[in-house]
Structure 1
Amino acid sequence: MFIAQAFRYSHSFWRYLVIPLLFFGLMALNYAAVEFLELDVAQVMQEEIARKGSNRVLAENLFAFVIFLAGLFFWVKYVHNQPIKALTTSRKRVDWSRFWFAFLLVAAFNIVVTLLDYFSNPQDYQLNFQLEPFLYLVIISVILIPIQTSFEEYFFRGYLMQGLGLLARNRWVPLVLTSFIFGGLHYFNPEVTKLGDIIMIYYIGTGFVLGIMTLMDEGLELALGFHAANNLITALLVTADWTAFQTHSIFKDVSEPSAGWDVLIPVFIVYPIFLFIMAKKYKWSNWREKLLGKVKKPKELQAEVAN
């Protein structure tokens, strides 16, 4: 129903082309500029941080998502004539308890795992805590990181999921495509350079688990909470010189970056446990139909021609 409800609003094909073309075009231009100018992105980032400070650089980088999210909402509301609630959930109202359940579940897990690793391998960490810059980091992160993660969820698991679902008339095509596209856009993160292509399993796997949450729960609330907690807690707890988020966090990872089981365990063990917990709590059923089934127009619209 989450995908199919988009049939109730203006859903002609061209309307679903413009925003993805603009967004992916912007990403392509950014990549082309980096390649043409032969820029070392990591070096440029370090120079910017040295000149402005990491908090200001973080705020400037995240502010773009305020514009992206506002633009997406404007397009959905005034071009698709679709209320934002219908882009968020199939329920009568947005269920914020679902958001907070996923947020607290992921936040608690990330905090516990980080602290366990810190006490087990203290040589891999430096205490990075400085009260004043950390407090500024908290303000910036609490305000802007949920906007960044919300844009990604509304764009991939909301807008593209609905648009591709209406086009393909099934659920598995938008699940697969949005997961691979979401993961693929992370290919240019500095983590990939340091850890290698194996990290893409984590990014694409994360896309799949967020997509499964959205389809099984018929809404974005769980995915919004999951993604916000993951990025926010990471930014506040641990930073490293080679990560996308370089912040005045509590700890700094000084270990030699490598990828192995720590990339595979979240995708093949932790994520299934999260899905199991959510499935039990929210009584998910009919997995095959919800993940692979057809997308049909609501009965009251079946006789209408798409506008």
Structure 2
Amino acid sequence: MYIEQGYKGKLGIWKYFIIPILFFGLMTLNVLVTTLLGVDAESIIQQEIARKGSNRFLVEMLIPFAVFLAGLFFWVKYIHEQSIRSLTTSRKRVDWRRIFFAFTVWAGITLLVFFIDYFSNPQDYILQFDLPKFAVLAVIALLLIPLQTSFEEYFFRGYLMQGLGIITKNRWFPLVFTSVVFGLMHISNPEVGKLGPVIMIYYIGTGFFLGIITLMDEGLELAIGFHAANNLITALLVTSDWTAFQTHSVFKDVSLPTAGNEIFLTVLVLFPLLTLLFAKKYGWTNWKEKLTAKVIPPVKHTSEG
């Protein structure tokens, strides 16, 4: 079982508090500064992009996540003395085919949905393809975005899921906690200011979807593939002036920012259908046990002399 993989390291419950306190402390400080000082995140992003260019701004935005991922791996390997493989999956080796399958499926769905909307509402998009700038963007995105998304998966669905499961001795609490907190982590995104609190349904719903497929599949592979596809397509295909990713993408969305049916379509229709697809392909069973059962420490065998 995936959560029980955490027992393969040296526990020490205090070790599970250091990294979350540091990370959530940084996130909370960012929100407090933005709120208390009345900082307009969208204006700052626009100013920084105008001064540095969107490619450089994207690099500076993503580099911290690469550092966070390296720091998390170091902490797990040398403080917990747990293998990165056991943080990733309950299988004997990381299943890259699962990663690429989830990536391909979600990338395909995202492209299909986008082009349906593009041909239905062509006035909402501008073709802004610039090969030299896009080529640089593609290199940056392919190198750094998977590190950003992998950190979020390893931290929320990996480290926190295993740690909270071991501490609380159950599965439902880590699923609920990590899903809600994952959504709240995006509360300072410019999209929230433009679209309103309803967008949090999408962020928290995404957290639950990723948490469920992680527990059901006993590993992070599907979540890693999905998350990488989601952010890469966002960065490379379409951008707008009010999103966190503002890049030299192929298209620019110039429509008025609105949120509604597409959020509920994704959370209530696409995510359940994708979950059923994964369940069918990988033969998932015992849903109640995997999502809500107790976490039981492994029995330590002692030898009698």
Letter of the 1:146 counterpart:
P
1:252–1:285: structure 2 CA closer, same or farther, 3 Å change rule?
A: same
Map 1:72-221; keep pairs closer than 5 Å.
72-221=72-221
> Does 1:18 find its partner at 2:23?
no
Measured in 1, the distance between the counterparts of 2:203 and 2:39 equals 24
Measured in 2, the distance between the counterparts of 1:37 and 1:268 equals 37
Letter of the 1:170 counterpart:
N
Measured in 2, the distance between the counterparts of 1:272 and 1:42 equals 33
Measured in 2, the distance between the counterparts of 1:221 and 1:183 equals 20
Measured in 2, the distance between the counterparts of 1:35 and 1:209 equals 29
Measured in 2, the distance between the counterparts of 1:157 and 1:249 equals 29
Measured in 2, the distance between the counterparts of 1:275 and 1:299 equals 33
Q: Deviations over 1:78-99 (max 9, x none)?
A: 1000010010000000000000
Alignment check: 8 A CA contact 1:191 1:244 kept: yes
Partner of 1:65: 65
> Does 1:263 find its partner at 2:259?
no
Deviation, 1:128, is 1.4
Q: Deviations over 1:191-238 (max 9, x none)?
A: 111111011110000000000010000000000000000000111001
> Does 1:41 find its partner at 2:41?
yes
Partner of 2:29: 29
Measured in 2, the distance between the counterparts of 1:206 and 1:8 equals 29
Deviation, 1:12, is 1.6
Measured in 1, the distance between the counterparts of 2:13 and 2:289 equals 25
> Does 1:283 find its partner at 2:276?
no
Measured in 1, the distance between the counterparts of 2:114 and 2:177 equals 32
Q: Deviations over 1:109-141 (max 9, x none)?
A: 111111111111001001111111000110000
Measured in 2, the distance between the counterparts of 1:15 and 1:302 equals 26
Measured in 2, the distance between the counterparts of 1:263 and 1:279 equals 23
1:74–1:184: structure 2 CA closer, same or farther, 3 Å change rule?
A: same
Q: Deviations over 1:41-68 (max 9, x none)?
A: 1111101111111011001100011110
Letter of the 1:297 counterpart:
P
Deviation, 1:262, is 0.8
Letter of the 2:136 counterpart:
Y
Deviation, 1:23, is 0.4
Alignment check: 8 A CA contact 2:8 2:86 kept: no
Letter of the 2:70 counterpart:
A
Alignment check: 8 A CA contact 1:128 1:248 kept: yes
In percent, how many aligned pairs have the same letter?
61
Alignment check: 8 A CA contact 1:240 1:252 kept: yes
Deviation, 1:70, is 0.5
Alignment check: 8 A CA contact 1:238 1:251 kept: yes
Q: Deviations over 1:1-45 (max 9, x none)?
A: 110121121112100000000001111222233334432111111
State the Cα RMSD in Å.
1.3
Measured in 2, the distance between the counterparts of 1:199 and 1:301 equals 50
1:256–1:83: structure 2 CA closer, same or farther, 3 Å change rule?
A: same
Letter of the 2:295 counterpart:
V
Measured in 2, the distance between the counterparts of 1:227 and 1:263 equals 17
Measured in 1, the distance between the counterparts of 2:248 and 2:271 equals 28
Unaligned runs of 5+ in 1: none
Deviation, 1:187, is 1.0
Measured in 2, the distance between the counterparts of 1:301 and 1:283 equals 32
Q: Normalised by the size of structure 1, how large is the TM-score?
A: 0.97
1:37–1:298: structure 2 CA closer, same or farther, 3 Å change rule?
A: same
Alignment check: 8 A CA contact 1:8 1:301 kept: no
Letter of the 2:27 counterpart:
M
Measured in 2, the distance between the counterparts of 1:195 and 1:178 equals 23
Letter of the 2:29 counterpart:
L
1:279–1:159: structure 2 CA closer, same or farther, 3 Å change rule?
A: same
Measured in 1, the distance between the counterparts of 2:264 and 2:299 equals 43
